[in-house]
Chain A
Amino acid sequence: MILLLFIIIPLLGGLFAWLFGRRSDPAARWISLVSLLIEQALVVLLWFRNPAAGIGPGAWFADLHSSWIPQLGISFHLAMDGLSLLMVSLTAFLGIMSVAISWTEIRERVGFFHLNLLFILAGINGVFLSMDLFLFYFFWELMLVPMYFLISIWGHENRTYAAIKFFIFTQLSGLLMLLSILGIYFVHARNTGVYTFDYFRLIGTSMTPAVSFWLMMGFFIAFAVKLPAVPFHTWLPDAHTEAPTAGSVVLAGLLLKTGAYGLIRFLVPLFPAAARSLAPAAMILGVIGILYGAVLAFGQRDLKRLVAYTSVSHMGFVLLGIFAWNDLALQGTVLQMICHGISTGALFMLVGALQERIHTRDMDVMGGMWESIPRMGAVVLFFALASLGLPGLGNFVAEFLVLLGSYKVSVIMTSFAVTGLVFATVYSLWIVQRAFHGEKRREWTISDLSLREMAVMFFMIVSLVWLGLYPRPVIDTARPAITGLMQSATSMEAPAAMANGSGNNGGTASQAVMNSGIRELME
């Protein structure tokens, strides 16, 4: 039941924020804040009540299964393991921070803004919790529409263009995924006679390599667009730059993570053999993303666009880690998802705070601002250091683990990826230099970070230091989930290979094992 709350609370919170927001703006803000705080409290409660020690196969914390449209085999199936828990927790955390940081930035249609923001968060939670592919697709689309509104209503100068571009990219790639979902649905039905969208039943569906490959590509493109992987990344700089601050934070911090999450949760376990054949290409795309994103970031004049391109670079590590597919790399990937969410989210918040004060994002007019706003300078410096992977902060642990894991798979690709650390240094320090160091180009009379903004930054800084020096709680929480995913992917390896030659026996046998595991869990 508790899982349903993660979707209902933000939905209701959003509705109430909208209703009460018609009369008073602060009411909308407070309602959103409180509902997200409740959500965060629930996550923490769940975390502490059920320490990650293996519960059943794959270590699931909680499960909610009720039928929805039984005629078509669609069920309302939510479940949470360590991976989902971490992602939901990140969602709540960044949600709270986004509401807090938009407190003074958003002054128009405040209620509707929070409705959209919270609906996105509900959609994201749904994505992280759905164990039914139809439901998953439903939430995948649910987070898209309000995000479109967020960009096109509260965005900056070129918002319409950016919003439409964002919508077309994600919508088109989402349709490919829908095709693949239907494909695996029918393949499974033909094999077993059972029509179902249930994730656990679909795992281990045997198909010919060609079918498996094309169905996987549908998923891959959808997730690679979201992630984003080069060459599907070009919606990102526009959307991130034009979105309001909270929009950019949610985009970079959470929406991109749904792509990574999809790869880990669905793509590899559903198509293990095909994923293996794709792995070298995907890893190369990851490395290209790391380097290409860094070069692009360095070339920008618009500070927000620069930060947006750093996401392309950092998410390259995620792609590399996922397709290296071993526990070191996957742990690093999960940590990278969390740390990148926090560090890049914080950078977007800071850019937003700066834009609120000087009404521009053009770095050519900035410079020498440390003198007038030293606190903001120091905080920007901190997150720039996080972004270049300074040891002691979470991003370092994440990238180190990813690279350590990918080294096992490919020495050459890892060596190229490592040079990304040098490029990250170049663009990160460039941010600090252009905005805060150097000569003053104008006499700024602007206020430093307010108490509210400092409070937000305080939480973000403490989280990154914690993740950098003592990431064990996160690692321990993710471990059973990752082990489970890796097992389900490898145990499927044999039947998937067998499907090449004769029959479905292997597939159904292992499926029976799987299903019995799930049944055990549900009882």
Chain B
Amino acid sequence: MKLIRGILKPHKLDDVKNALMEIGIIGMTVIEVKGYGRQKGHSELYRGAEYKIDFVPKVQIDVVVADDQVEIVVEKIVSSAKTGRIGDGKVFVLPVEETVRIRTGEKGIEAL
């Protein structure tokens, strides 16, 4: 099992979610985050005083899938989240040791 983590532009969340639902991904976790990569923040003036805004709002989406689904999920996230402009985000793939469904106690792939 792998955890696929996408850092996305917030307005792309719906497109990514719909794309994943289309291929049968029925669960995900979404967190609001801030960050920066090559897309830097910017400077603003507040009543004449400068302040820097380094971090840009992003959305992080976590999906845990079976190994054989990793490639298609990553490809779906990339294609639906892409705008072509700086700040589109990244996708990370992490290994998952165990998954348990709390309600039933199922483990492993069944718990996904």
**A and B, one complex?**
no
- Residues of B whose CB lies within 8 Å of any CB of A are none
